Amino acid sequence: MQTTTKRDLCEKIARRTDNTHMVVKKTIQMFLDEIISELAQGNRIELRDFGVFEIRQRAARKARNPRTGEVAFVPAKNVVVFKVGKLMREKVGNPTQAQQPSQGA
């Protein structure tokens, strides 16, 4: 498995659209900034077939320092969650189905 960076995506899109790397980079960055801005305002972002980004609040809890065993309080916080859309789920596949033993063997 390889890691694809924003730069890699910019280069691929620039080649396919005949735009300059800088135009594509600015466009992608504006898109990402808007997603962050909307999430920061508490809004849900739905990108059909791709997925849904939303904010959920993780409850406050007690934790334990593994080194000392001391109890520590972890305050509540907001976290971003992502639910995969239908098209992405179909294209990427379901790894749990691939790991199931075949029937009749």
- Inter-CA distances, 19 with 11, 13, 22, 33, 63, Å: 10, 8, 8, 20, 51
Share of the chain above pLDDT 70, in %: 89
Question: How far is it, in rounded angstroms, from Cα 80 to Cα 85?
Answer: 16
Query: Does one domain contain both 48 and 33?
Result: no
Kindly report the pTM of this predicted structure: 0.73
Residue 33: per-residue pLDDT: 97
Mean pLDDT in residue range 54-82:
94
Range of the domain at 79: 43-93
Q: What is the CATH number of the domain that holds 84?
A: 4.10.520.10
Q: Judge whether 102 lies within some domain.
A: no
94 pLDDT more than 70: no
| Tokens, residue 80 | 């971003």
Residues 48 and 32 in one domain: no
Closest CA relative to residue 84, chosen from 75, 73, 72, 94: 94
Quote the pLDDT of residue 46: 96
Domain count, the chain: 2
For residue 30, tell me if it sits in a domain.
Answer: yes
Based on the fold, state whether residues 48 and 88 are members of the same structural domain. yes
